[in-house]
Structure 1
Amino acid sequence: MIINNKITLTLLTGVVLTSCSTSIQTQKIVKQAQFQTDLLLQEIPKVDNKKGVLVSPRTVEHGQLVLVPSKDWTSGFFPGNLWYLYELTKDEKRKAEAEKFTAKIEKEKYNGNTHDMGFKIYCSFGNGYRLTGRQDYKEVIIQSAKTLITRFNPKVGAIRSWDHNSDKWDFPVIIDNMLNLELLFEATRLTGDSTYYNIAVTHANTTMKNHFRPDYSTWHVIGYNPKTGAVEKRNTHQGYSDDSAWARGQGWAIYGYTMCYRYTKNPAYLAQAENVAKFIFNNKNMPKDLIPYWDFDAPKIPNEPRDVSAAAVISSALYELSTYSKKEDYLKKAREMTHAMATKYKSAEGTNKGFILDHSTGHWPKNSEIDVPINYADYYYLEGIVRNNRIKKHESVVQ
């Protein structure tokens, strides 16, 4: 069946904005973000890149700026940051920078060795298409969706995440994969072909069935038998333990099901997002400033690293969720998180090689990217700023 080619993205614009004493000083935030981004653009050419394969800044480790090739799952976030800054400032210089860094990862549209197509392509080309309407960007989005669905296994009912770690899982599916579904929903909207939509819905349903514990916390990795579809393992690869609640994983969950509700209006997805939010904010280990520790069950809380990237993902999701659900004051929580990031967790001007935020945790079990700036924290933080601005203007929170 071909679904309506004009899936509406218009959200309720008549929502009553919750009064909130927390002030989001957008002008000040954007000024700091621009200053830092200009510094980062100056630092990028200083990195040894003789082969020219490094295309995007990812983090700072041991005082050094780390650039990654286009195949890295984070390569699309910096171009996305530039697109958001262009949207916030209307500065044509930002647009030119965004186009330059976006072009560097176009070849990924044919890379079928990864599930991270949405992170790479939709954060970059997706935002570029949304803001410019460039038809070549549209074609990249569609081709990327075609590539991504080659990883779908109908027996499992999900898109395969990793090809590595084959010694641990036959068919791993990670909660992060939920965010790559936006690319598929958009491909149906752009083409009218429901194949992408149907695969996205099937994946979301399979994940909702198997990834969540009774308290609506999520495992990180579910290992399936690719021949039978049976669940073989439940693990939390980047968390403290298999039974723990890895903070960013909870962020991917609330963001993913809020986004799925946007496209489908399936009340089960809305309820799932609400339940994940309940777990997050009722958790005894959630700090007062709402910037979570890297894992809600980390053993040395409060002496554990925070994960600002988790806060950025959660807060961006909450801005959107606030337009669908009145069960909690999600808008107030989103603004509180944004205020904390903008004041207590931002990079001081001129530091961190130009990243906007600090104090994220990438992969604690591997002792990788601990208490450092990371590009996806900056991305979802800026996305949240854009969404907050739209809500204040009574505009559709996602355009």
Structure 2
Amino acid sequence: MTLNFMMKKHCFKLFFILLSVLVSCKTETKEQYNPQKELENRYDKLLHYKVDSLAFPRSFSHEKQEIKKVPSKDWTSGFFAGNLWQIYELTGNVDFKTKAKHWTAFIEKEKYNDRTHDMGFKVFCSFGNGLKHADNQTYKDIIVESATTLSTRFNKKIGSIRSWDFNRDVWQFPVIIDNMMNLELLFEATKISGDSTFHKLAVTHANTTLKNHFRPDNSCYHVVDYDTISLQPRMKVTHQGFGDETSWARGQGWAIYGYTMTYRYTKDPKYLERAIATAGFFLNHKNLPEDGIPYWDFDAPNIPNASRDVSAGAIVASALVELYGYTKNEDYLNYSKKVANTMTSSKYILPSDVDIPFILDHSFGDWSKRSEMDEPIVYGDYYYLETLLRLKDV
């Protein structure tokens, strides 16, 4: 089989995937905008990014015109390897698989890092995606070891995994809604090892979060801080959102995705109910724009001029494809399709001549630090690619 034939085969495969996902995608003219070509160019930029164990691409600053590069200990390190694995799955191009293996290997040492709760983001987004393509015992062992390390942050009396270690002068035992995403690593560790301890720990954490993180309107706080003596919540804040009582868009995404995923492993209806309720808050919010890409905070004071958050839209879009599978609610699938179409438009996709290892623009990072606001961020690409794959399967 010739190289030219193989390349044509991959291009045709990608083209038909896009046709199935980008239903009703409206463009001005074929010459003005070609989503297939744009995505192929974006994928190639990721493939050609220099392999460096200390330079995982996290985001890109438009102001400084530079890529923010981080080591494996950063919570976002696993997403780039995950992106390469997912592009391989979308295109069949083995070059992406080869590069994915290189970047994934750099993360192995994190299996012993007990200073972070983000073991799932780092290890499962990389090694977990790799396991989809090979029965790799080494990858399985790394996942189980990582779950063992993550378990050391669990407080049995409080019933939660501790999130951050900073701000110890302010917080005693902070738990963030993002932590729901790291439970997938624990559930999978039980499936791999047969040790139910990981599964039970994940369920306990999910139950504690379910009890304390949500408001009556079904939105969620970002951080719940627990008193280490009374074991009760002592503070509820939205650290990365605009204000403590505002609805930070990405946080709502973590909640919808996290409880949908937890239902997948447990089939406990209370988790499905929570995912449905918070999805309803998100989809029916008066400040959700028509194109489905939320403002970075639903209560940002400068709406409609506030920055959007592509990453939040992608997280929710991916989650709602799975939630559709459990509910058959067409509103969920329609939102995911709309977001996939919207993101693969010239408004959100990076120009093909911008030589950086990212696909999408306009994600929003951390308001508390005033950092990565309205920039390409690696996890926006990750959940966008996952949305495409899930829509393809549907």
TM-score (normalizing by structure 1): 0.88
Question: Separation in 2 of the partners of 1:101 and 1:29?
Answer: 27
Change over 3 Å in CA distance of 1:218–1:30 after alignment to 2: farther
Residues 338, 381 of structure 1: 8 Å contact kept: yes
The letter for the 1-side match of 2:380 is A
Structure 1 residues 198-209: aligned runs within 5 Å: 198-209=200-211
Match for residue 77 of structure 1 among 79, 86, 101? 79
Count of residue correspondences? 365
Question: Separation in 2 of the partners of 1:278 and 1:328?
Answer: 13
Question: Separation in 1 of the partners of 2:358 and 2:156?
Answer: 41
Residues 24, 338 of structure 1: 8 Å contact kept: no
Mapped pair 1:380 → 2:386: no
Residues 158, 203 of structure 1: 8 Å contact kept: yes
Deviations 1:211-255 (A, max 9, x none): 000011000000001233210100000000000000000000000
State the Cα distance separating 1:204 from its structure 2 match.
0.5
Residues 47, 96 of structure 2: 8 Å contact kept: no
Question: Separation in 2 of the partners of 1:172 and 1:102?
Answer: 29
Question: Separation in 1 of the partners of 2:359 and 2:336?
Answer: 18
Question: Separation in 1 of the partners of 2:100 and 2:78?
Answer: 10
Q: Which residue of 2 aligns with 1:334?
A: 336
Residues 187, 199 of structure 2: 8 Å contact kept: yes
Change over 3 Å in CA distance of 1:58–1:144 after alignment to 2: same
Deviations 1:80-118 (A, max 9, x none): 000001111121111100000001111000001000000
State the Cα distance separating 1:327 from its structure 2 match.
4.5
Deviations 1:317-359 (A, max 9, x none): 0110000013452101110011111113111112261310000
Change over 3 Å in CA distance of 1:30–1:147 after alignment to 2: farther
State the Cα distance separating 1:269 from its structure 2 match.
0.5
The letter for the 1-side match of 2:260 is T
Q: Which residue of 1 aligns with 2:42?
A: 36
State the Cα distance separating 1:36 from its structure 2 match.
1.9
Question: Separation in 2 of the partners of 1:286 and 1:148?
Answer: 35
Q: Which residue of 1 aligns with 2:372?
A: 369
State the Cα distance separating 1:38 from its structure 2 match.
2.6
State the Cα distance separating 1:35 from its structure 2 match.
2.0
Q: Which residue of 2 aligns with 1:284?
A: 286
State the Cα distance separating 1:43 from its structure 2 match.
4.8
Q: Which residue of 2 aligns with 1:275?
A: 277
Question: Separation in 1 of the partners of 2:182 and 2:176?
Answer: 11
Q: Which residue of 1 aligns with 2:101?
A: 99
The letter for the 2-side match of 1:35 is N
Mapped pair 1:57 → 2:68: no
Residues 172, 228 of structure 2: 8 Å contact kept: yes
Structure 2 SS opposite 1:72: coil
Q: Which moved more, 1:344-353 or 1:166-175?
A: 344-353
Greater RCO (CA < 8 Å, at least 6 residues apart): 1
Residues 39, 350 of structure 1: 8 Å contact kept: no
RMSD of aligned Cα (Å): 1.9
Q: Which residue of 1 aligns with 2:350?
A: 347
State the Cα distance separating 1:29 from its structure 2 match.
5.4
Structure 2 SS opposite 1:370: strand
Structure 1 residues 202-221: aligned runs within 5 Å: 202-221=204-223
Q: Which residue of 2 aligns with 1:119?
A: 121
Structure 1 SS opposite 2:77: coil
TM-score (normalizing by structure 2): 0.89
Residues 174, 225 of structure 2: 8 Å contact kept: yes
Change over 3 Å in CA distance of 1:22–1:53 after alignment to 2: same
**% identical equivalent positions:** 55
Q: Which residue of 1 aligns with 2:3?
A: none
Deviations 1:114-145 (A, max 9, x none): 00000000000001012111111111001000
- Structure 1: tracts of 5 or more residues without a match: 1-18, 46-51, 392-399
The letter for the 1-side match of 2:384 is Y
Q: Which residue of 1 aligns with 2:262?
A: 260
Mapped pair 1:231 → 2:237: no
The letter for the 2-side match of 1:383 is E
Structure 2 SS opposite 1:311: helix
State the Cα distance separating 1:192 from its structure 2 match.
1.2
Change over 3 Å in CA distance of 1:44–1:60 after alignment to 2: farther
- Structure 2: tracts of 5 or more residues without a match: 1-20, 28-33
State the Cα distance separating 1:53 from its structure 2 match.
5.6
Consecutive aligned runs of 4 or more in structure 1 exceeding 3 Å deviation: 19-25, 28-34, 40-45
Q: Which residue of 2 aligns with 1:394?
A: none
Residues 53, 103 of structure 2: 8 Å contact kept: no
Residues 55, 104 of structure 1: 8 Å contact kept: no
Structure 1 SS opposite 2:325: coil
Question: Separation in 2 of the partners of 1:95 and 1:175?
Answer: 32
